[in-house]
Copies of this chain bind each other. A is one copy, B any other.
């Protein structure tokens, strides 16, 4: 975790090139608020286009390089790229040369040599997208689609966009994030986006074992008790329980987890009446969130999915289209 924290300031610099252009999207940590706002505005513009498809990235190639399975996020990036007219290669890592002993960087350099313009990377190790970005031979862009516990910047952006559509003024918002904060790249990217956009108060709630180190989020309020954390909240962001973490957190069962940290309808009533409910999905019904809350009128879960495609279109357009006058083999 400390390595992650230290690496972010480097990432924040590395993803901006010497002309001040966004060259990669590795993290939201340190990304200036006006850049985040510009990406959200661009996503909003795609959302309001009736056609929803364009040829902006015609002739460009986007590679989905997923070292962890994630059909949901991969499909969202796939649709975003194809709806912009890009050609998409879903590089199946399990059956690829990396399983023949080729190194990750050799795989990336090989794909660059085939003139791929963007790498959408998911990896269980924090820092892999940044490592790739530092070793590129070409002008390709790297989009972090989730690395270890470190960052999931497009998730942070889509959560910010979803929330902004319902609560344009972040300054008075009290946002509670509940679940396995310690191991959650979603929580980190959400916190970075919310801070950047001026959220009034961010509360992090988990058992002691699942909270981050004390100094990682100095501006957040820490809670162990969800009933207290959610009191008066405007937004509740529930994290997915990785079931293999239950033992470490001294949680004997899913129902016990739900009792302590799940969002039930009763518990939601402790928040403000119009408290919004978010979750990055896929949801475990009855574990971190009650089914009736997930499907209820305060839930934005499916809106998050919708906005995810538009946010990824915006990021791809920002990273690739500014470069669109460059010939294919630049």
Which residues of B lie under 8 Å from residue A115 when comparing CB positions? 52, 79, 306, 309
Task: Check if A59 sits within 8 Å of B53, measured CB to CB.
Answer: yes
A 109-143 binary contact with B (CB < 8 Å = 1; else 0): 11111110000000000000000000001000000
Within the complex, the shortest CB–CB distance from A119 to chain B, in Å, comes to 13
Closest to A109 in B: B302
Task: Check if B59 sits within 8 Å of A71, measured CB to CB.
Answer: no
Closest to A82 in B: B87
Task: Check if A113 sits within 8 Å of B78, measured CB to CB.
Answer: no
Task: Check if A328 sits within 8 Å of B52, measured CB to CB.
Answer: yes
Task: Check if A113 sits within 8 Å of B59, measured CB to CB.
Answer: no
A 284-321 binary contact with B (CB < 8 Å = 1; else 0): 11000000000000000011011011000000000000
Task: Tell me if A20 counts as interface (CB < 8 A to partner B).
Answer: no
Task: Tell me if A152 counts as interface (CB < 8 A to partner B).
Answer: no
Task: Tell me if A100 counts as interface (CB < 8 A to partner B).
Answer: yes
Task: Tell me if A259 counts as interface (CB < 8 A to partner B).
Answer: no
Which residues of B lie under 8 Å from residue A327 when comparing CB positions? 50-52
Interface residues of A in 36-88 (CB under 8 A from B): 47, 50-53, 58-59, 61, 69-72, 75-76, 78-79, 82-83, 87
Contact size range, A: 35 or more
Contact A114-B53, Cβ < 8 Å, known A79-B61, A95-B69, A101-B284: no
Which residues of B lie under 8 Å from residue A305 when comparing CB positions? 110, 113-114
Within the complex, the shortest CB–CB distance from A197 to chain B, in Å, comes to 23
Task: Check if B114 sits within 8 Å of A282, measured CB to CB.
Answer: no
Task: Tell me if A215 counts as interface (CB < 8 A to partner B).
Answer: no
Contact A79-B89, Cβ < 8 Å, known A115-B52, A305-B113: yes
Which residues of B lie under 8 Å from residue A70 when comparing CB positions? 97
Task: Tell me if A102 counts as interface (CB < 8 A to partner B).
Answer: yes
Task: Check if A282 sits within 8 Å of B69, measured CB to CB.
Answer: no
A 91-106 binary contact with B (CB < 8 Å = 1; else 0): 1100111011111001
Which of B112, B302, B309, B329 contacts A52 (CB under 8 A)?
B329
Task: Tell me if A200 counts as interface (CB < 8 A to partner B).
Answer: no
Which residues of B lie under 8 Å from residue A103 when comparing CB positions? 285
Provide the bound-state CA to CA distance between A284 and B103, in Å: 9
Which residues of B lie under 8 Å from residue A58 when comparing CB positions? 53
Task: Tell me if A281 counts as interface (CB < 8 A to partner B).
Answer: yes
Task: Check if B137 sits within 8 Å of A302, measured CB to CB.
Answer: yes
Provide the bound-state CA to CA distance between A219 and B263, in Å: 56
Task: Tell me if A199 counts as interface (CB < 8 A to partner B).
Answer: no
Closest to A80 in B: B114
Task: Check if B52 sits within 8 Å of A110, measured CB to CB.
Answer: no
Q: Name which of A47, A106, A283, A308 has the most chain B CB atoms within 10 A of its CB.
A: A106
Task: Check if B52 sits within 8 Å of A71, measured CB to CB.
Answer: no
Contact A309-B114, Cβ < 8 Å, known A51-B327, A282-B97: yes
Which residues of B lie under 8 Å from residue A72 when comparing CB positions? 96-97, 110
Q: List 18 A-B contacts (CB under 8 A).
A: A52-B328, A53-B58, A53-B328, A71-B92, A71-B95, A71-B97, A72-B110, A75-B89, A75-B91, A97-B282, A100-B282, A102-B283, A106-B281, A110-B282, A112-B302, A114-B305, A115-B306, A115-B309
